[in-house]
Amino acid sequence: MKKFALFAGLALMLAGCGGGGQGQQQAGGPPQVFYETVKTSNVTLDTELPGRTSAYEVSEVRPQVNGIITARLFQEGQMVGRGQPLYRIDSAPYAAQVASARAALARAQASIASSEALARRYGELVEINAISRQEYDNAVAAANQAKADVAAQRAALQSAQINLARTTIRAPIAGRIGRSTYTTGALVTASQPDALATIQRLDPVYVDIQQSSADILRLRRQLASGDLLREDGAARVRLMLEDGTQYPIEGTMKFTDVSVDPGSGSQVIRAVFANPQGLLLPGMFVRAQVVEGTRQNAMLVSQRAVSRDAKGNATVMVVGADGKLEPRTIVASRTVGQDWIVESGLKPGDKVIVEGAQNLPPGTPVQASPYKENASPQGGNPQANGAQAAPGGAEKAE
Which of 115-124, 192-201, 303-312 comes out lowest in average pLDDT? 115-124
State which H helix or E strand residue 210 sits in: strand 197-212
d(CA 274, CA 204): 4
Average of pLDDT values for 251-279?
82
By mean pLDDT, which of 57-66, 270-279, 376-385 is the weakest? Answer: 376-385
Taking 60 as the threshold, does the pLDDT of residue 245 lie above it? yes
Please state, rounded to an integer, the average pLDDT across all residues of the chain: 78
Q: Nearest to residue 305, comparing CAs of 269, 278, 345?
A: 345
Cβ pair 33, 356 in contact under 8 A: yes
Is 211 in a helix, a strand, or coil?
strand
Sort strands 32-37 and 367-370 into parallel, antiparallel or unpaired: parallel
Q: What is the 3-state secondary structure (H, E, C) of 193-208?
A: CCCCEEEEEEEEEEEE
pLDDT at 291: 75
Average pLDDT of 145-153? 85
Q: pLDDT at position 234, please?
A: 60
Whether cis (ω within 30° of 0) applies to the bond prior to 204 is yes
Given pLDDT bands bounded at 50, 70 and 90, which one contains residue 32? confident
Q: Is 237 left (phi over 0), alpha (psi -120 to 50) or beta?
A: beta
Identify the pLDDT of residue 93.
Answer: 93
The mean per-residue pLDDT over the stretch 362-381 comes to 67
Residue scoring higher pLDDT (211 or 274): 274
Q: Are 53 and 286 in contact (CB under 8 A)?
A: yes
Looking at residue 142, what is its pLDDT?
78
Q: Lowest-confidence range among 214-223, 245-254, 329-338? A: 214-223
What percent of the chain is modeled with pLDDT above 70? 81
| pLDDT, tens only, 182-207 | 999 999 999 899 999 999 999 899 99
Q: Look at residue 298 in the predicted model and tell me its pLDDT.
A: 80
Could you tell me the domains of the chain?
Answer: 29-41+297-396 (2.40.420.20), 45-56+205-296 (2.40.30.170), 65-89+167-194 (2.40.50.100), 91-166 (1.10.287.470)
Q: Highest-confidence range of 14-23, 39-48, 209-218, by mean pLDDT?
A: 39-48
Q: What pLDDT shows up at residue 227?
A: 55
Mean pLDDT within 247-258: 82
pLDDT digits (tens, 9 = 90+) for 46-101: 777 888 999 999 999 999 999 999 999 999 989 999 999 999 999 999 999 999 99
- The residue-averaged pLDDT of 325-348 equals 82
Q: What are phi and psi of 96, to 5 degrees?
A: -65, -40
Q: What is the mean pLDDT of residues 233-255?
A: 82
* Alpha helices by DSSP H, the chain: 2-28, 92-127, 133-165, 213-225, 382-389, 393-396
pLDDT at 55: 92
User: Would you give the end-to-end CA distance of the chain in angstroms?
Assistant: 55
Residue 230: the pLDDT is 57
Higher-confidence position of 114 and 184: 184
d(C-alpha 184, C-alpha 120), whole Å: 58
- 238 pLDDT more than 90: no
Mean pLDDT calculated for residue range 151-159: 91
pLDDT attached to residue 374: 59
Residue 228: the pLDDT is 55
Q: For residues 293 and 345, what is the distance between their CA atoms, to the nearest angstrom?
A: 24
Candidate ranges 32-46, 188-202, 242-256; pick with highest mean pLDDT? 188-202
Q: Confidence band (pLDDT; 50, 70, 90) for 394?
A: very low
Cα distances (Å, whole numbers) of residue 341 to 180, 201, 377? 55, 42, 26
